């Protein structure tokens, strides 16, 4: 190597090193930009909390799962708090932008994703376990990409804990690399952050989602609803039929599932020649085919309407099911909304929205260890039909599965 080339390279290294901040300097610069998100109930009691990062004037970004079940929330730091409201949601990327009036905290600088290098020193700032504005450090230990090369998660050894969600992961120059979102409980120091480049996309994606939600609540003219769909009731009868379409959101591959009631035997509803048996509330009792497999395995014992009464409020479930040689366990919380109109396929129904968040473990039988992943899904259950009309799944972790299922048509023959 020539002396000139060596000097150029040495100068580049020296320049890069000079730009790195000492941890105390970095913390002093960034701490004013990382806040705690606190949820309050109707009695103004604190019910849960997470973290958020200032990204612009009066605007912060956090994880959407931090805001799940929050009817009211505020951002706080050092005994100062501000009322906040959701501005743009992007639940697919688990990012939500919140708006705070009369708020002047400094915004952080976003890192260019092309500069990220495995092995670089990184720092996390958030509110783990309620300990406000905590700094931890580690390495950028992985860049997790899709098959097409898109950066999905930034992996780090910097410790994070419950309450860190929505906080910032920063490089040694104090630039935001990502929003810390989850940790793998069964592993050591495998922590993930949503890449910061997603923040720039958040307003447009949020507006599009809000528009779709507004359109989904629009009334459907009676002429647009097939006559058969209006004949259905909550009481199952031979000849009732349901057509579901499941869509893999990664590949857009669609699968159609048709269910038809053959007979009703007391509290047992028999479909498709006996290949599927449900109770009167749509809870699976027996099955010899995959059909609605992902929905069936996350449905808790007793179903969404145990004893005929639809769930309400917030419920916790811990259960295990066995499916096709696997032991599938869930440790989840389900938050149930009040009934609201939802447009699904050719019909419109009143349905409760059930937001599910927690952990999902899958282990082949006869094995002593398996994998546990962060788990999130949403169920829309219609009391008037006594069955699920929409289901969406996002299984975080190595599988990164995303799937939706909708009741596109239904009727009575």
How far is Cα 335 from Cα 354, in angstroms, rounded to an integer?
5
How far is Cα 82 from Cα 218, in angstroms, rounded to an integer?
34
Pairing of β 340-344 and β 72-77: unpaired
> So what's the pLDDT on residue 47?
62
**CA dihedral (343, 349, 355, 356) positive or negative:** negative
Q: Does residue 273 share a domain with residue 372?
A: yes
Structure token pair of residue 33? 């930009």
End-of-domain residue from the set 165, 186, 203: 203
Residue 213 falls within a domain, yes or no?
A: no
CATH number where 191 lies: 2.40.10.120
The number of residues in the chain equals: 413
Q: Does residue 275 share a domain with residue 126?
A: no
Residue 290 falls within a domain, yes or no?
A: yes
Residue 123 Cα distances to 15, 172, 178, 185, 302, angstroms: 20, 7, 11, 20, 45
The SS3 assignment for 7 reads helix
Residue 258 falls within a domain, yes or no?
A: yes
Q: What angle do CA 104, 106, 110 make, to 5 degrees?
A: 140
> So what's the pLDDT on residue 387?
93
| Residues 6 or more apart whose Cβ sits within 8 Å of residue 245 | 254, 255, 256, 257, 345, 405, 406, 408
Q: Does residue 180 share a domain with residue 287?
A: no
Residue 275 falls within a domain, yes or no?
A: yes
Helix and strand numbers, DSSP H then E, in the chain: 6, 24
Residue 2 falls within a domain, yes or no?
A: no
> So what's the pLDDT on residue 116?
94
Q: Does residue 375 share a domain with residue 302?
A: yes
| Residues 6 or more apart whose Cβ sits within 8 Å of residue 295 | 379, 388, 391, 405
Pairing of β 134-145 and β 80-90: unpaired
Q: Are 348 and 225 in contact (CB under 8 A)?
A: yes
Structure token pair of residue 192? 């993930």
Q: Are 384 and 230 in contact (CB under 8 A)?
A: no
Q: Does residue 182 share a domain with residue 105?
A: yes
Phi and psi of 253, rounded to 5°?
A: -70, 130
Q: Does residue 147 share a domain with residue 282?
A: no
Q: Does residue 235 share a domain with residue 145?
A: no
Q: Does residue 199 share a domain with residue 243?
A: no
How far is Cα 333 from Cα 345, in angstroms, rounded to an integer?
28
Residue 24 falls within a domain, yes or no?
A: yes
Domain hosting 387: range is 228-412
> So what's the pLDDT on residue 41?
53
CATH number where 396 lies: 2.40.360
In this prediction the pTM is: 0.54
How far is Cα 145 from Cα 401, in angstroms, rounded to an integer?
14
Q: Does residue 243 share a domain with residue 379?
A: yes
- From the list 158, 145, 91, the residue with the least C-alpha distance to 113 is 145
Q: Are 342 and 389 in contact (CB under 8 A)?
A: yes
Q: Are 347 and 229 in contact (CB under 8 A)?
A: yes
> So what's the pLDDT on residue 6?
38
End-of-domain residue from the set 188, 203, 218: 203
Radius of gyration of the chain, Cα coordinates, nearest whole angstrom: 24
C-alpha neighbours within 13 Å on the C-beta side of residue 133: 16
Q: Does residue 239 share a domain with residue 131?
A: no
Structure token pair of residue 258? 């048709």
DSSP 270-300: EEGGGTEEE-TTS-EEEESS-TTHHHHHHSP
How far is Cα 365 from Cα 324, in angstroms, rounded to an integer?
9
Count up the domains in the chain and report the number: 2
How far is Cα 410 from Cα 150, in angstroms, rounded to an integer?
38
Q: Does residue 245 share a domain with residue 176?
A: no
pLDDT by residue, tens only, the chain of 413 residues = 444 443 334 444 434 444 889 999 999 999 999 999 987 655 566 666 889 999 999 999 998 878 765 667 899 999 899 989 889 988 778 898 999 999 999 999 999 999 999 999 999 999 998 899 999 999 999 998 887 888 988 999 999 888 888 999 999 999 999 999 877 655 567 888 999 999 999 999 888 878 876 665 444 333 233 333 346 778 899 999 999 998 876 667 788 889 999 999 988 999 988 889 999 999 998 877 667 878 888 999 999 999 889 998 888 898 887 655 567 888 888 899 888 888 887 778 889 999 998 888 765 544 444 566 788 899 999 998 999 999 998 776 545 567 889 999 888 87
How far is Cα 52 from Cα 194, in angstroms, rounded to an integer?
13
């Amino acid at each position: 190597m020539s002396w000139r080339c060596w000097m150029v390279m040495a100068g580049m290294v020296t320049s890069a090193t000079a730009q790195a901040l000492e941890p105390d300097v970095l913390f002093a610069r960034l701490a004013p930009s990382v806040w705690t998100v606190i949820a309050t109930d109707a009695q103004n009691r604190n019910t849960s909390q997470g973290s958020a990062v200032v990204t612009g004037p009066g605007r912060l970004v956090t994880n959407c799962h931090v805001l799940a079940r929050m009817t009211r929330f505020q951002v706080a730091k050092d005994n100062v708090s501000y009322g906040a409201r959701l501005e743009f949601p992007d639940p697919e990327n688990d990012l939500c932008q919140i708006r705070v009036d009369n708020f002047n905290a400094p915004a952080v600088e976003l890192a260019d994703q092309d500069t990220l290098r495995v092995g670089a020193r990184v720092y996390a700032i958030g509110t783990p376990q309620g300990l406000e504005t905590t700094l931890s450090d580690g390495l950028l230990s992985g860049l997790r990409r899709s098959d097409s090369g898109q950066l999905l998660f930034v992996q780090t050894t910097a410790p994070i804990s419950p309450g860190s969600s929505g906080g910032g992961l920063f490089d040694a120059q104090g630039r935001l690399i990502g929003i810390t979102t989850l940790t793998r409980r069964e592993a050591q120091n495998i922590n993930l952050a949503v890449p910061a480049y997603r923040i720039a996309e958040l307003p447009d994606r949020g507006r599009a989602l809000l528009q779709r939600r507004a359109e989904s609540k629009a009334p459907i003219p009676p002429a647009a609803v097939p006559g058969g769909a209006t004949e259905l009731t909550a009481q199952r009868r031979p000849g009732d039929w349901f057509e579901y379409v499941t869509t893999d959101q990664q590949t857009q591959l669609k699968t159609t599932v048709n269910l038809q009631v053959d007979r009703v035997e007391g509290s047992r509803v028999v479909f498709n020649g006996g290949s599927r048996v449900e109770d009167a509330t749509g809870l699976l009792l027996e099955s010899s085919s995959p059909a609605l497999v992902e929905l069936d395995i996350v449905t808790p014992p007793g179903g969404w309407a145990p004893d005929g009464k639809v769930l309400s409020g917030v419920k916790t479930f811990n259960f295990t099911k066995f499916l096709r040689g696997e032991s599938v366990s869930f440790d989840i919380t389900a938050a149930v909304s009040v009934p609201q109109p939802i447009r699904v396929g050719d019909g419109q129904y009143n349905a409760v929205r059930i937001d599910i968040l927690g952990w999902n473990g899958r282990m082949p039988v006869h094995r002593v260890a398996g994998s546990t992943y962060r788990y999130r899904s949403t169920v829309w259950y219609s009391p008037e039909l006594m069955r699920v009309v929409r289901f969406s799944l996002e299984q975080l972790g190595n599988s990164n599965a995303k799937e939706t299922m909708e009741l596109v048509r239904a009727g009575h023959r």
